[in-house]
Amino acid sequence: MKILQPKQGNYQLQNYESAKNSFSWDDVRDVFTWSKTGKINIAYESIDRHVKEGRGAKKALLYSDPSRNETYTFEQLKKLTNQAAHMFRKLDVEKGDRVFIFMPRAPELYIALLGAIKMGAVVGPLFEAFMKDAVKSRLEDSEASVIVTTPELVSRIPVDELPHLKKIILVGDDVKTDEKHFSYSKEMKACTDDDSAIEWMDLEDGFILHYTSGSTGKPKGVYHVHQAMIQHYQTAKWVLDLREDDIYWCTADPGWVTGTSYGIFGPWLNGATNVIRGGRFSPDDWYDTIEKNNVTVWYSAPTAFRMLMSTPSDVIKKYDLSSIRHILSVGEPLNPEVVRWGWEVFKHRIHDTWWMTETGAMLICNYLSEPIKLGSMGKPFPGIEAAIIDNNGKKLPPNEMGNLAIKKGWPSQMRKIWKNDEKFNEYFAFEGWYVSGDTAYMDEDGYFWFQGRNDDLIMTAGERVGPFEIESKLVEHKAVAEAGVIGKPDEIRGHIIKAFVVLNPSHEYSEELEKEIKTFIKTELSAHAVPKEIEFTDKLPKTRSGKIMRRVLKAWELNEPAGDLSSMDD
Ligand code: 6R9
């Protein structure tokens, strides 16, 4: 199985080719209030607009975690986010100020985030697992004046070392307050829920600052503007295929761009019911979340799918997952084996989507109405021009590997890297293009194939090898749950291929198994792709969004410093 044909259906993007030829971003503007006023607020368009248009009683948020189970309508969210907006005003936040949110997923996180945007602040969501240094560097760089957090996390905020940080809002019961610390519930109660909370913004005013770690150096603050919503809206409509009657679950945390663009804005701009699950990953919990909420559209990541895949199959059999009609993936290359598994157990194709923090929204995707080539990330979204260019900025013909680049100027493109123009300009070194840092090729049908981050590519015996292909073949072996592949310097070959392998719980290491895996790669892929060394390990280093950190594997291998590790999972 190499290609999966689309199922018949009435999809919001029925005809990719014709949309590609006729679509213009300008067509989207009329959906929104701001087309009449010229002023915008992405939080208003996500929540309040539905109330204004008669959908206030509709369920907007289905929240659950091991201790809470709550439902909010658009009307309720409108009022709560108005209160939050007034609260930030009352605490002297002004338009353009940075308000950070540092707490586990909970309704308050979403209410505070939208409330801050409503009153014109630029929000900065942080993963709850960040430790002191990671929190400090981000607050320092952004010069945030207010942070919303919990009593459990507040000790990781070095207030005395952060001169710009004026106020800390604590979400929790019976919190201690003083001139710097405020109680979220008390402050919220003291605020009205009226609409004067809304600050009408210009299209190019900022609303979010997402810090993302590069491979080296300090994290970059990627800055997005309110009109990015056009693309959140349209991609959620055409790629997620969201309608108002959908119950949609994006598993990502708002600390990762996926958890905001598609955990908040994409679904709510389309008026869908949004499922948010707090707490940690567990297969039972996740399947239960789908069953209990009747999730119809599910957006997750390869790392999660691989974990579910390596869970004994009797677990999934306990659940009724028949509500699902559409599954999507992002964050890492989607192994063909995972798509095959998805087809087998869910009877649905898993649709890969490619984009980055810097791009703000999806750019290259698979669509319900189009064939899926297993291992390909799909084709450019209508209105997006993607190309493979060489190191001089020249377009390469099909099937040649090079830099994945995007014609500059899409609505959700980052507008700056916070206080770092030089870094920003590096992305635009070639006239007219945004260069992603990913290596890929495009085939003759216009499908794009991911090969690796530029710095992950392996030169072995004169050949350039992408780690993804080998990793994907490794996980096809029945004993292998996950694999990370790197190039290890070698005097003769330049580099040799080294694989780090996590075995499925049902398998144990043996010399025969190691040999068997190598033979498997040789016969299934090629002799030059066989890892000369395989190291068996319990865990791979990953980012909090689930990306295998090949540079960390490399640094471990070479006994070198691993660079910035603030984005690494525990
Ligand atoms: C949304 C997000 C961006 C980097 C990107 C690429 C990798 C994302 C992918 C993918 C292969 C896909 N990536 N989606 N690689 N196939 N479908 O992930 O943003 O955290 O900034 O990461 O992730 O290397 O350049 P971000």
SS3 assignment, position 27: helix
Q: Cα separation of 269 and 408, whole Å? A: 24
Q: What pLDDT was estimated at residue 217? A: 64
Using most ligand atoms within 8 A of CB, pick from 330, 338, 471 the residue to mutate for ligand 1. Answer: 330
Q: Which two tokens stand for residue 427?
A: 């992305």
Domain boundary among 413, 440, 467: 440
In this structure, is residue 570 part of a structural domain? no
In this structure, is residue 256 part of a structural domain? yes
CA of 283 to the centre of ligand 1 (A): 24
Residue list, ligand 1 pocket, CB within 6 Å:
212, 257-258, 330-333, 352-357, 377, 436-438, 450, 453, 545
Q: Specify the ligand 1 atom closest to the Cα of 543.
A: 20
CATH number at residue 551: 3.30.300.30
SS3 assignment, position 328: strand
CA of 331 to the centre of ligand 1 (A): 4
Is the domain of 358 the same as that of 496?
A: no
Q: What pLDDT was estimated at residue 463? A: 80
In this structure, is residue 267 part of a structural domain? yes
Is the domain of 428 the same as that of 473?
A: no
Is the domain of 172 the same as that of 63?
A: yes
Q: What pLDDT was estimated at residue 216? A: 60
Q: Decide if 41 contacts 118 (C-beta within 8 A).
A: yes
Q: For the chain, how many residues are written?
A: 570
Instruction: For the beta carbon of residue 523, count every other beta carbon within 10 angstroms.
Output: 10
Domain boundary among 384, 411, 440: 440
The residues near 331 (Cβ < 8 Å, ≥ 6 apart) are: 256, 258, 301, 302, 303, 545, 546, 547
Rounded to two decimals, the ipTM of the complex is 1.00
Q: Specify the ligand 1 atom closest to the Cα of 377.
A: 17
CA of 156 to the centre of ligand 1 (A): 29
Q: Would you tell me the crossing angle of helices 74-90 and 107-118 to the nearest 10 degrees?
A: 60
Q: Decide if 565 contacts 218 (C-beta within 8 A).
A: no
- Closest C-alpha among 211, 248, 60 to residue 122: 211
In this structure, is residue 567 part of a structural domain? no
Domain boundary among 440, 469, 504: 440
Half-sphere exposure of 218 (CA within 13 A, CB side): 15
- The protein residue whose alpha carbon is closest to atom 18 in ligand 1 is 331
In this structure, is residue 446 part of a structural domain? no
Using most ligand atoms within 8 A of CB, pick from 224, 329, 354 the residue to mutate for ligand 1. Answer: 354
Detail the DSSP E strand segments found in 314-370: 326-329, 350-354, 364-365
CA of 252 to the centre of ligand 1 (A): 13
Is the domain of 230 the same as that of 350?
A: yes
CA of 53 to the centre of ligand 1 (A): 36
Instruction: For the beta carbon of residue 243, count every other beta carbon within 10 angstroms.
Output: 14
Q: Cα separation of 229 and 11, whole Å? A: 21
Q: Decide if 194 contacts 81 (C-beta within 8 A).
A: no
CATH number at residue 70: 3.40.50.12780
Q: Decide if 184 contacts 112 (C-beta within 8 A).
A: yes
In this structure, is residue 273 part of a structural domain? yes
Q: Cα separation of 55 and 409, whole Å? A: 33
Instruction: For the beta carbon of residue 361, count every other beta carbon within 10 angstroms.
Output: 29
Q: What tens digit of pLDDT does each residue of 55-91 get? A: 999 999 999 999 999 999 999 999 999 999 999 999 9
Q: What pLDDT was estimated at residue 566? A: 80
CA of 355 to the centre of ligand 1 (A): 6
CA of 86 to the centre of ligand 1 (A): 36
SS3 assignment, position 330: coil
SS3 assignment, position 425: helix
Is the domain of 79 the same as that of 205?
A: yes
Q: Specify the ligand 1 atom closest to the Cα of 468.
A: 11
Q: What tens digit of pLDDT does each residue of 437-485 get? A: 999 999 999 999 999 998 888 988 778 888 999 999 999 999 999 999 9
State phi, psi for 22 to the nearest 5 degrees. Answer: -115, -15
In this structure, is residue 451 part of a structural domain? no
Is the domain of 60 the same as that of 202?
A: yes
In the block, residue with structure tokens 């899409």: 410
CA of 550 to the centre of ligand 1 (A): 14
Is the domain of 380 the same as that of 483?
A: no
Structural domains of the chain, count: 2
Is the domain of 185 the same as that of 53?
A: yes
Would residue 432 be called left, alpha or beta, if left means φ above 0 and alpha means ψ between -120 and 50 degrees? left
In this structure, is residue 105 part of a structural domain? yes
CA of 470 to the centre of ligand 1 (A): 18
Is the domain of 410 the same as that of 545?
A: no
Is the domain of 157 the same as that of 274?
A: yes
Q: Which positions of the chain have pLDDT values less than 70?
A: 214-217
Is the domain of 398 the same as that of 536?
A: no
Longest pairwise C-alpha distance within the chain: 72
Provide the residue range defining the domain that includes 7.
Answer: 3-440
Residue 456 CA, chain-centre distance (Å), reads 20
Using most ligand atoms within 8 A of CB, pick from 250, 253, 356, 366 the residue to mutate for ligand 1. Answer: 356
Is the domain of 249 the same as that of 343?
A: yes
In the block, residue with structure tokens 């505070």: 112
- The protein residue whose alpha carbon is closest to atom 2 in ligand 1 is 356
SS3 assignment, position 381: coil
